[in-house]
Structure formats: structure tokens, C-alpha cells
Amino acid sequence: PQAKPAPAAVSVTVAHPVVRQVEDWNEFIGRLAAPETVEIRSRVSGYLSKVHFQEGSLVQPSNLLVTIDPRPYQAVVDRLAADLSRARHRADLAAAEASRADSLFRTRAISADDHDQRIKASAEAVDSVRGAEAALQAAKLDLEFTEIRSPIAGRISNARVTAGNLVSGGDSGGTLLTTVVSIDPIHCYV
């Protein structure tokens, strides 16, 4: 058999290697997120009187953000303050009657039943004072909640509700007014 001729040589381009320093690097996708985000919601219901912030501005803790009309809550505070005063006067009167009942009971001028009733009335009046004080404290707290302040430092978003609108409050989650996100420090999630 006849041998096949060798194939023709293929032309090849040759490059000489270059020596240089190469840095290793990687590319990742990350997302910036604030470590603190707060939804500003109303704790009490009422008409929004004024928005005190500019959208997108920086706020500090305890900066006044929104005011809800405080007049209905101030009226409740005034009424409960009068109720507390009335309860204190009744307690003073009941204490005086109990004191007189003690001295009359020692001389057997009143029955044991009358004595016990006046002592219990005095104790009940003291409890009424404590109840009136607690109601007044709760009303003052509601009045304080008409001024909504920022709990953290950060950047505030847009006003979701404008002045003149009715906002609802309460434990079931009040009307969302705006949000505040912290900006220093900030986290990067990769």
C-alpha cells in the first residue's frame, strides 16, 4: 500500500506572555437597608391639624411631626380633673365622718353597724380618688398622643395624610401617617 503524504504545516500565530501584577476581584450584588424603620401611626383618633415636616427631610428623635386636634382631649382632661377634685372632697368628708364615728362608737353613741358603714364609706372614697387619678392620667396620656413625635433619627418619607383629614388611632393599628428610616449606620446585604 502506498503511504499517504503528511499534511501540510498549519500556520500558527504566536504571542509571547506578558509578565504583570494581577489583582483578584469579585463582583457581588448588594442591597442597602436601614437597621431601623418606624411606621408613624396615630395612637388617638381625631382631625389632623398640622403636618410639621418636609417630605424627605432629616428628623431627630422627639421632633414634632404631626399634630392632631387636641381640643376634645383637653376637654376630657378638664372634666376628669374636676371629677378628681370632687372625689377628693368626698374622701375628706368620708374620712371626717369615719373619725367622728370612731369617737362616737367608743362612747357607744352609735351602733356597730353605723360605725362599720362610715369606715367602709371612707375606704371606698379613697378608692374612688385612686380611680379618678388613674382616669385623669389616661386622659393626659391621650392628650399627649395628639402630638406625634419621631422616635428615631433618620430620613422621613412622604406625608400619607394631609391636614384636615380624620385619622384613626388605637391598639388595632392607627392610620399610617409616614415612615422614618435611619441612615447612619446603614447595612449592606449581599
The whole-number pLDDT of residue 1 equals 65
> 3-class SS at 65?
strand
Q: Write out pLDDT tens, residues 124-175.
A: 999 999 999 999 999 999 999 999 999 999 999 999 999 999 999 877 778 9
Given a cut of 90, whether residue 102 has pLDDT beyond it is: no
Q: What is each CA distance from 87 to 46, 93, 100, in whole angstroms?
A: 30, 10, 20
Confidence of residue 2 (pLDDT cuts 50, 70, 90): confident
DSSP assignment string, 33-50? E-S-EEEEE-SS-EEEEE
The whole-number pLDDT of residue 170 equals 77
Cα 85-91-94 angle, rounded to 5 deg: 145
**74 or 110: which carries more pLDDT confidence?**
74
Task: Specify whether the CB–CB gap between 102 and 115 falls below 8 A.
Answer: yes
Q: Mean pLDDT, to the nearest integer, of 109-116?
A: 87
ω into residue 185 within 30 of 0, thus cis?
yes
> 3-class SS at 105?
helix
Q: Mean pLDDT, to the nearest integer, of 83-109?
A: 91
Q: Mean pLDDT, to the nearest integer, of 65-79?
A: 97
Q: What percent of the chain has pLDDT over 90?
A: 67
**Cα–Cα distance, 115 to 113 (Å, whole number):** 5
The whole-number pLDDT of residue 142 equals 95
**Cα–Cα distance, 167 to 161 (Å, whole number):** 8
Given a cut of 80, whether residue 107 has pLDDT beyond it is: yes
* Amino acid making up residue 149: R
Report field, pTM of the whole predicted structure over 0.85: no
**Cα–Cα distance, 105 to 76 (Å, whole number):** 42
Confidence of residue 44 (pLDDT cuts 50, 70, 90): very high
Reading the block at residue 122, the C-alpha cell is: 371612707
The number of beta carbons lying within 10 Å of the beta carbon of residue 174 is 20
The number of beta carbons lying within 10 Å of the beta carbon of residue 115 is 17
Q: Mean pLDDT, to the nearest integer, of 105-116?
A: 87
In the sheet with 37-41, reading across from the earlier edge strand, the strands are 37-41, 176-181, 154-156, 58-59
